[in-house]
Chains A and B, each alone.
Chain A
């Protein structure tokens, strides 16, 4: 029995251990907070009404970033259009119609794979299929379609989970009253699952709005003299704009760079906030 054994009691080991864990957590979390504050401090000076509503000038070094904001808005809209209806339909299939067959397992494996494909590979795919093969050219259409396929797994899995959380008893009762499966889904299950479905869609779109690689060769452009006039035009977009002004434009004023970051983050985080609010309000008003 020496000094060392007294120090190495299980209690003390635990104190040290917990301290290490706490340090890990702090190292992870503190930079997040620091980053947020830093971006806010550096970016706010750049934000103004002109910044959001004017076109850029002087080779992007001055003026506003309206076309990039609008472009991201269009792309998000396009992604929503092409990914939400098929995504929800696929989720309904998996939650309500699919049996436990080999085909269903194959679908789930395909979904997991789709979710894991690197975003730049989606860009290649979009280039090959939409830009070249279908000849849509570098366009909002091609970029939106590419982003939609990338967003599909997120929407399907969150929507399926939302549908499954609706109690089975509702379905049984509905069927016993003479409703068909589709009537049950349309009138009871889907409306009850809607908040969860919407939350999932918003989170998926939030990711799509921030992505750069899939739109690099399918629709994004850096310098466009006018706003896009049709879905077949290319467009500027916030993430791509940020990328170029931080790597390829010399003499870029810092506050415009940080201002752009701030706008992009506000876009993305406000979607997150809306999704969270919907989710918690729905939980409070649940009827089961």
Chain B
């Protein structure tokens, strides 16, 4: 068991008081899928946004504790957050293709990082699209605008976009909530595939998805981490009554 990210005593509060986190202690396993599940408002999104410092963009009130990644506490003020975001990528619940072509969407993060060589960009774009199982559907129209793709394709594009940076961790916040079942299945399949080399942390939008793909699972309730463990164990024999009640649908 190697921990990719170690979270200790994490407390996060927003200015409007919503979705805060209280005293979170969690180890994220490397190269596996960790699911964060629980009812709405539990703090799952907050945790994800803390991990790539995207909270800096919003109305954060307080943030304390430690998030150790590659030996460094990434919550410290002196951290190079830009470099951090290249190593910890994020996919959002609604697909947001940038107003560029399919190719440019994937090459954008690389160009921004300073990559100029056309050959390197071409290679990276193809590799990312293949990883996201999108290459066969778009290889002949890479210069078409990205927003012309279907919803499922757009979300896989967003995943490819993140993969282009070859990150060490991918965060996904309800990535399939806007997708039909077939696209959802494709995304779940590709997540299982990439989790062999990349650490995946996902907040699925229903418990069934969590049970399907979660190697490890963490149950969040109103900002607190109630229970954490191997996915199979959590969903069949949870230790905490609250976890059991939620899984059985007694509250939602």
**Do any CB atoms of chain A lie under 8 A from CB atoms of chain B in the complex?**
yes
Which chain A positions have C-beta within 8 A of B94? 169
Q: Do A288 and B147 touch across chains, with their CB atoms under 8 A apart? A: yes
Q: How large is the interface on A (under 10, 10 to 19, 20 to 34, 35 or more residues)?
A: 10 to 19
Q: Do B147 and A178 touch across chains, with their CB atoms under 8 A apart? A: no
Which residue on B lies nearest to A288, using beta carbons? B99
| CA A192 to CA B99, docked complex, whole Å | 8
In the complex, identify which listed stretch (B33-41, B108-116, B200-208, B210-218) lies at the interface while the others stay far away.
B108-116
Which chain B positions have C-beta within 8 A of A180? 82, 112
Which chain A positions have C-beta within 8 A of B147? 287-288
B98 sits at the interface (CB 8 A):
yes
Q: Do B145 and A178 touch across chains, with their CB atoms under 8 A apart? A: no
Which chain B positions have C-beta within 8 A of A178? 82-83, 85-86, 109, 112-113, 165
A176 sits at the interface (CB 8 A):
yes
- Chain B binding site: helix, strand, loop or mixed by DSSP? helix
Which chain A positions have C-beta within 8 A of B86? 177-178
Which chain B positions have C-beta within 8 A of A243? none
Q: Do A188 and B54 touch across chains, with their CB atoms under 8 A apart? A: no
Q: Do A172 and B99 touch across chains, with their CB atoms under 8 A apart? A: no
Which residue on B lies nearest to A170, using beta carbons? B98
B162 sits at the interface (CB 8 A):
yes
Which chain B positions have C-beta within 8 A of A188? 98-99
B92 sits at the interface (CB 8 A):
yes
- Chain A binding site: helix, strand, loop or mixed by DSSP? helix
Write the nearest CB–CB distance from A120 to chain B, whole angstroms.
Answer: 44
Which residue on B lies nearest to A177, using beta carbons? B109
Write the nearest CB–CB distance from B61 to chain A, whole angstroms.
Answer: 15
B143-166 vs A, CB cutoff 8 Å, 1 = contact: the mask equals 001010000000000100110010
A174 sits at the interface (CB 8 A):
yes
Q: Do A177 and B162 touch across chains, with their CB atoms under 8 A apart? A: yes
Q: Do A176 and B112 touch across chains, with their CB atoms under 8 A apart? A: no
A274 sits at the interface (CB 8 A):
no
Which residue on A lies nearest to B145, using beta carbons? A287
Q: Do A173 and B83 touch across chains, with their CB atoms under 8 A apart? A: no
Q: Do A179 and B90 touch across chains, with their CB atoms under 8 A apart? A: no
B96 sits at the interface (CB 8 A):
yes
Given contacts A180-B82, A288-B147, contact A175 B54 (CB under 8 A): yes
B175 sits at the interface (CB 8 A):
no
Write the nearest CB–CB distance from B104 to chain A, whole angstroms.
Answer: 10
Which chain A positions have C-beta within 8 A of B158? 173
Q: Do B98 and A174 touch across chains, with their CB atoms under 8 A apart? A: yes
Q: Do B57 and A175 touch across chains, with their CB atoms under 8 A apart? A: yes
Which residue on B lies nearest to A183, using beta carbons? B112
Given contacts A172-B54, A172-B57, A288-B147, contact A177 B96 (CB under 8 A): no
Which residue on A lies nearest to B147, using beta carbons? A287
A13 sits at the interface (CB 8 A):
no
Which chain A positions have C-beta within 8 A of B165? 177-178
In chain A, positions 89-138 with a C-beta closer than 8 Å to chain B are none
B56-92 vs A, CB cutoff 8 Å, 1 = contact: the mask equals 0100000000000000000000000011011001101
| CA A191 to CA B83, docked complex, whole Å | 25
Which residue on B lies nearest to A184, using beta carbons? B112
In chain A, positions 235-288 with a C-beta closer than 8 Å to chain B are 287-288
Q: Do B99 and A177 touch across chains, with their CB atoms under 8 A apart? A: no
| CA A177 to CA B83, docked complex, whole Å | 10
Q: Do A176 and B82 touch across chains, with their CB atoms under 8 A apart? A: no
B36-54 vs A, CB cutoff 8 Å, 1 = contact: the mask equals 0000000000000000101
A54 sits at the interface (CB 8 A):
no
Which chain A positions have C-beta within 8 A of B145? 287
Write the nearest CB–CB distance from A216 to chain B, whole angstroms.
Answer: 46
Contacts beyond the supplied A173-B98, A287-B147: 6 A-B pairs with Cβ under 8 Å: A175-B57, A177-B85, A177-B108, A178-B109, A187-B108, A288-B147
Closest 9 CB pairs of A and B: A287-B99, A177-B109, A178-B86, A179-B112, A178-B85, A169-B96, A176-B90, A173-B96, A178-B82
| 12 A-B pairs (CB sep. < 8 Å) | A170-B99, A173-B158, A174-B112, A175-B54, A176-B52, A176-B92, A177-B109, A177-B161, A178-B83, A179-B108, A287-B145, A288-B147
